[in-house]
Amino acid sequence: MGYAHEYAHAILHRGRVPMEPTDHVVHWADGPRKGKYYPTAEAFALPGTEDLADAPIAPGLLPGAAEDQEADGSAGFSLPLLSAMLKDSYGLTGRRLGIQANTDLAGLPFYTHANWSRGTAGGGGLYPVSIHWASGPSGPLTPGLHYYDIHRHALQRLLAGDVTDRVRDALGPDTPEEALDTDQYLILGVKYWQNSFKYNSFSFHVVSTDLGTLVQTWRIWAAAHGLRLAPVLWFDEPRLNELLGTAGEEETVFAVVPLHWDGPAPRRDAAAGRDAPRTDPRHRPAVRHRDVERSRTLLDFDALRDMHTATLECAADRPAPGALAAAAALPDDADGVRVALPEPAFPDTGVRRALRERRSSFGRFDARRRVGGGHLSAVLAACAETRLAGDTDPSGAVRLARLYAFVNHVEGVEQGAYAYDPDRGTLRQVVPGPQGSFLQENYFLANYNLEQAGAVLVPTVRTTAVLDALGDRGYRLAVGTAGAVAQSFYLAASALGLGAGVALGFDNVSFVERLGLAEGDEAPLLVMALGHERPEPADFRHEIA
């Protein structure tokens, strides 16, 4: 067993055995920026996105219709579509000024402490994922490597010239064919300090969920527009870090997302490409621009460094086809009282609208209005259908996450803890009776009253089984899948007009015990609260001020 097993055990038990350093104090005044800063890199504004027609979100949340739309493989991205996807997912779309129960409320009116809304959820609101676009000749820009500037919704050119052959070489010849038959790639890096200044040793776990939330946003957005996206998680990571000009222990590439561009596929002759002479065989293009760090003091954390090292080993050794199947979520074949749920369905809510309206409810739940059984069914189904569908599971056939529901106030379902069976569309009762006290006692923070939520969903992943099947690098996939489930949850709730909130701060072991999972390897990774919010909550419309 590698270090990732030890780290996964520490994460699961951190509610009872705090992780080192136990005396860490967050220096908020010296925190990093929420985004990278390249002061000398030229910027190009991306096309406006407000006039782009919206598309129903349902095909992205309940896949099937999306597969039909992309059957001929002809649909592809254009610059306006890519611009809209970036804006809707990681771009700044508004300012959070509503009255809620989170600890940052007092500082929100001050510009220096402003909290900007994004379509994608982020652990702690820190958003450490950096988005780079490697564009080749088939794209609309002069070939090069660009950084997506979230604050200006613009691209900053970091490197001129086509480097997509370098990206393909880093992915390896055994990567899925669709990743090789393109010259457009989104490269996702993670700047550790942007998260670890707050979460220290817990940081690697959190940034892995951040990877999953962003990729799942893109997958839902693309499916709604008849497109398909899938990340590549195994590749020559040091080589791509070298291309981006980053030090791996500070910022490293977590995923590469190939884009199918609208129009004819670029002609590629791999053998000819390898044999083509270069002006200088030793030439290795790399970004020379450097991110200017805001923090004066940067700290290192042993667990974070060790997890980075562990997941870097054998990074280019892609697991054998079918290896992930051994870690699939277990079927729900136990006996017990079952409650049939209505057929899951979503309204014609647009994906862009759902992303713009997504938010964390933070104490605004209202138990006086029960959640409809059909709404709970739709949210559960969307979460259960979530796949990252990366290079270890190109078809998206393997379900890694299993769902449990703590029902407080749902029409047609008695209070209790349930296991969700997506194949039957039923809830199997695990623990009868009210669960509100248990939920609140095992939640660390004061920004939610979980008893007021209609239901609290808990996704589990067989984390150790994933590590056994894929090695230490599989931790990014296991926890990234939980992040993807969280994003599906948020967008499903938004599409239905429900409040939602996802949290990492809870006693995982208590949930293992409550759900009877101690004899197995399922790890509860999140608590996801769903319910109606109080009507007409206090807010401030900054955009008309």
Q: Rounded CA gap, 233 and 222, in Å? A: 19
| pLDDT at 37 exceeding the cut of 80 | yes
List the alpha helices (DSSP H) in 225-326: 237-244, 270-275, 302-312
**SS3 letters across 192-252:** CHHHHHHHHHHHHHHHHHHHHHHHHHHHHHHHHCCCCCCCECCCCHHHHHHHHCCCCCCEE
Helix or strand holding residue 4 (H, E): helix 3-12
Is the distance from CB of 137 to CB of 143 less than 8 angstroms? yes
In a domain, 530, yes or no: yes
| Of 316, 328, 319, 196, nearest in space to 256 by CA | 316
Q: Rounded CA gap, 511 and 524, in Å? A: 7
Give the dihedral of Cα atoms 405, 351, 485, 214; nearest 10 deg: -150
Alpha-carbon distances of 462 from 173, 267, 324, 341, 443, rounded to whole Å: 29, 41, 11, 26, 22
CB atoms within 10 A of CB 50: 7
Backbone angles phi, psi at 258, to 5 degrees: -70, 145
Provide the domain limits for residue 533.
324-542
Backbone angles phi, psi at 68, to 5 degrees: -65, -40
Alpha-carbon distances of 184 from 74, 168, 257, rounded to whole Å: 16, 10, 9
| pLDDT at 523 exceeding the cut of 70 | yes
CB atoms within 10 A of CB 484: 30
Q: Which residue has the tokens 């992309």?
A: 70
Query: What is the chain's alpha carbon radius of gyration, rounded to the nearest angstrom?
Result: 22
Tokens read off for 33: 């920026």
| pLDDT at 494 exceeding the cut of 90 | yes
Q: Which of 20-34, 269-283, 321-335 has the lowest mean pLDDT?
A: 269-283
In a domain, 385, yes or no: yes
Q: What is the pLDDT of residue 102?
A: 80
Mean local confidence (pLDDT), 502-510: 97
Angle between helices 3-12 and 203-224 (to 10 degrees): 90
Whichever domain contains 407, its CATH number is 3.40.109.10
pLDDT band at 267 (very low <50, low <70, confident <90, very high): low
Q: Which of 258-262, 364-368, 536-540 has the lowest mean pLDDT?
A: 536-540
In a domain, 362, yes or no: yes
Backbone angles phi, psi at 512, to 5 degrees: -60, -45
| pLDDT at 476 exceeding the cut of 50 | yes
| pLDDT at 65 exceeding the cut of 60 | no
Q: Rounded CA gap, 202 and 200, in Å? A: 5
In a domain, 72, yes or no: no
In a domain, 28, yes or no: no
In a domain, 473, yes or no: yes
Backbone angles phi, psi at 55, to 5 degrees: -135, 145
Of all residues in the chain, the percent with pLDDT exceeding 90 is 85
Mean local confidence (pLDDT), 248-257: 96
| pLDDT at 71 exceeding the cut of 50 | no
Q: Rounded CA gap, 488 and 486, in Å? A: 5
What DSSP string describes 445-512? -SS--GGGSSEEEEEEE-HHHHHHHH-TTHHHHHHHHHHHHHHHHHHHHHHHT-EEEEE--B-HHHHH
In the 8-state DSSP scheme, what is residue 353?
A: H
In a domain, 46, yes or no: no
pLDDT tens digits for range 183-201: 999 999 999 999 999 999 9
pLDDT tens digits for range 117-146: 999 999 999 999 999 999 999 999 999 999
Q: What is the pLDDT of residue 541?
A: 76
| pLDDT at 275 exceeding the cut of 70 | no
Q: Which of 264-273, 368-377, 431-440 has the lowest mean pLDDT?
A: 264-273
Q: What is the pLDDT of residue 280?
A: 67
| Of 38, 65, 93, 138, nearest in space to 345 by CA | 65
Q: What is the pLDDT of residue 67?
A: 47
**SS3 letters across 121-169:** CCHHHCCCEEEEEEECCCCCCCCEEEEEECCCCEEEEEEECCCHHHHHH
pLDDT tens digits for range 454-473: 999 999 999 999 999 999 99
CB atoms within 10 A of CB 204: 27
Q: What is the pLDDT of residue 264?
A: 74
| Bond into 128 cis (ω within 30) | no
Q: Rounded CA gap, 358 and 497, in Å? A: 9
| pLDDT at 279 exceeding the cut of 60 | no
| pLDDT at 270 exceeding the cut of 60 | no
Mean local confidence (pLDDT), 462-485: 98
Q: Which residue has the tokens 């990743």?
A: 179
Angle between helices 463-470 and 3-12 (to 10 degrees): 170
Q: Rounded CA gap, 354 and 542, in Å? A: 20
Q: Is the dihedral of CA 299, 301, 304, 307 positive or negative?
A: positive
In a domain, 392, yes or no: yes
More confidently predicted of 274 and 256: 256
SS3 content of the chain, % helix, strand, coil (to 5): 35, 20, 50
pLDDT band at 274 (very low <50, low <70, confident <90, very high): very low
| pLDDT at 331 exceeding the cut of 60 | yes
Residue type, 16: R
Q: Rounded CA gap, 419 and 427, in Å? A: 6
Number of domains in the chain: 1
Of all residues in the chain, the percent with pLDDT exceeding 70 is 95
| pLDDT at 412 exceeding the cut of 80 | yes
